[in-house]
Structure 1
Amino acid sequence: MSPLSLLHRVFFELYPNLGTSVIYGSLNAIADIAAQLLFTSDSPYDSSRTFRFFVFGMGIAPLAVMWNTYLERAYPLRVSAEQPLMTQTVPLEGVTIDAMHGTPKVHRRTSSLVLHAPPLNPASEPDPATEPMLGGEATPAPTSVPPVNKLVLLRRIAADQVFMAPISFIVFLVCMGMMEFLTPSEIFIKVENSLWPILIANWKIWPFVQIVMFLYIPLKYRVPLSGVVNLMWTIFLSLETAFRAQA
């Protein structure tokens, strides 16, 4: 097994929550390092700030997984193409149910639940090459992917951006302030000054990212891969929080 396959197995199959936390926290730390070294070169590197971003990423990742799982279940984008069989209770008195060729016929004289299915063509004979009971292999039925419900997609994005985005940014600012040992009044001022600019910038970027994520990325990879996009976003958050702290 290659090292990449081993990491994939450990992070996404054996310990998915731990793996997601480590990946997300590491990407947060890398983003803060890049923000400090590339955009604030006039200030000395602050390792404690990088550590705070790492800790916050580790802690928020499982919550992000839970939220994405909820969105997946509450707002399904594709309705299953399989239609349930129609059922109806009808009297079977006097009805003969023919079994397979060579087996006795079954007669019932009670009312029962009958599954209505398309009638079989009596002239057709089973093909031994495709009939499992005759030693062949069953031919898989062609499957079609149901179309995406665009209205549900918009509702899912709206739920995330209108409801969860403000909460997550408030949690971010409060947690970072607590790890900086700020007083409650200082944390409140920090939230008041930073929340609206962060939300405006978020709404310019993340709805479009989420369209791609929701449509093409499987659930278990969604949070780690969003962390890659979040790399540039965290650079912005790092610069924004540092700027607001100096103001």
Structure 2
Amino acid sequence: MPPAFLTNFARFYNTNFDRRPIPTLIITNGVLNTLADALAQTSTILLHKPTPLDPTPSYDPERTLRFAIYGMALGPLIGKWMRLLERSIPIRAGANGNGLQLAKRVLADQAVMAPFGLALFITSMGIMEGRDSQGIKDKFSDMYFPALIANWKVWPLIQTINFKLMPLQYRVPFQSTCGIAWTLYLSLLNAKDDKNLEPKV
């Protein structure tokens, strides 16, 4: 039996999701993205081995704010996408062919939302970082395909579990919770790319 606080939190979340789905998704995704970048920066600082030419980086709250804004904006979009998949590729309890329907959902998610979401991430981060169009193109060319390939190695399994086991209202939080590690990866990749794009002196 789950602890009482988890039961109470689930009840609180369900009530707010039913009454105010968009604000609930905005807050949930924003908090989880904030946590992911905070973990990424903290781990980088703790694991960094400083040298005279490469001192230990300091925590960048503006970067965390950018990730929070991105997460808040993405939450409702993912929610609408989940509802679209629910309507377009239904999976009914006990129905024949559910395995095929599940595979179709995962394929649609990875063929459409994964490439789009990653492009949106790189573009929005570039804009919030104040890059010009060429800077965004450079970031895109350096980050996009390595991150997309990494996505396809990890997310099909996660989304299979998500679509198969999670009720609709929990799919975005489940994806975002699993996405803490993914956002941590993107955060580190984004920071690494920023460093690579710095002018050499």
In the TM superposition, what is the alpha-carbon distance from 1:14 to its structure 2 partner? 2.0
Instruction: Give the drift of 1:11.
Output: 2.8
Quote the offset at 1:149 in angstroms: 2.0
Report the aligned-residue RMSD.
Answer: 1.7
Specify the code of the residue in structure 2 equivalent to 1:30.
L
Shift of 1:230: 0.6
Distance 1:228 1:178 in 2: 25
Report the structure number with the largest CA radius of gyration.
1
* Alpha-carbon distance between aligned partners in 2 of 1:211 and 1:191, rounded to the nearest angstrom: 28
Instruction: Please give the alpha-carbon distance, in whole angstroms, between the structure 2 residues aligned to 1:10 and 1:19.
Output: 10
In structure 2, the residue matched to 1:26 is 31
- Structure 1: how far apart are the matches of 2:138 and 2:10? 47
Show structure 1 runs of 4+ deviating over 4 A: none
The answer on 1:149 being equivalent to 2:98 is yes
Q: Percent identity?
A: 36
How far 1:8 moved relative to its partner? Answer: 2.2
More strand by share: 1
Please tell me whether residue 224 in structure 1 is matched to residue 177 in structure 2: no
SS of the counterpart of 2:58? Answer: coil
| Contact 1:52-1:179 at 8 Å conserved across structures | yes
Which residue of 2 is the match for residue 117 of structure 1?
A: none
Q: Is 2:50 the partner of 1:45?
A: no
- 1:11–1:20 Cα contact (<8 Å) kept: no
**Structure 1: which amino acid aligns with 2:138?**
I
Measure the CA separation in 2 of the matches of 1:40 and 1:200: 27
Contact 2:36 2:181 in 1 (8 A): yes
Using structure 1 for the length normalisation, give the TM-score: 0.69
Tell me the distance in 2 between the aligned counterparts of 1:184 and 1:59.
21
**Residue type matched to 1:217 in 2?**
M
With structure 2 as the length reference, what TM-score do the two structures score? Answer: 0.84
Count how many residue pairs are aligned between Structure 1 and Structure 2: 181
Partners of 1:245 and 1:147 in 2: CA distance:
49
Alignment partner, residue 59 of structure 1 = 73
Question: Equivalent residue of 2:77, what SS?
Answer: helix
Any conservation in 1 of the 2:14–2:169 contact (CA below 8 Å)?
no
Residue of structure 1 in register with 2:151 after alignment = 202
Are the equivalent residues in 1 in contact too, given 2:25–2:76 (CA < 8 A)?
yes
Residues 5 and 188 (structure 1 numbering): CA distance in 2 closer, same or farther, change over 3 Å? closer
1:129 paired residue number: none
Distance 2:81 2:14 in 1: 23
Is 1:12–2:12 an aligned residue pair? no
Alpha-carbon contact 2:143-2:193 (below 8 Å) kept: yes
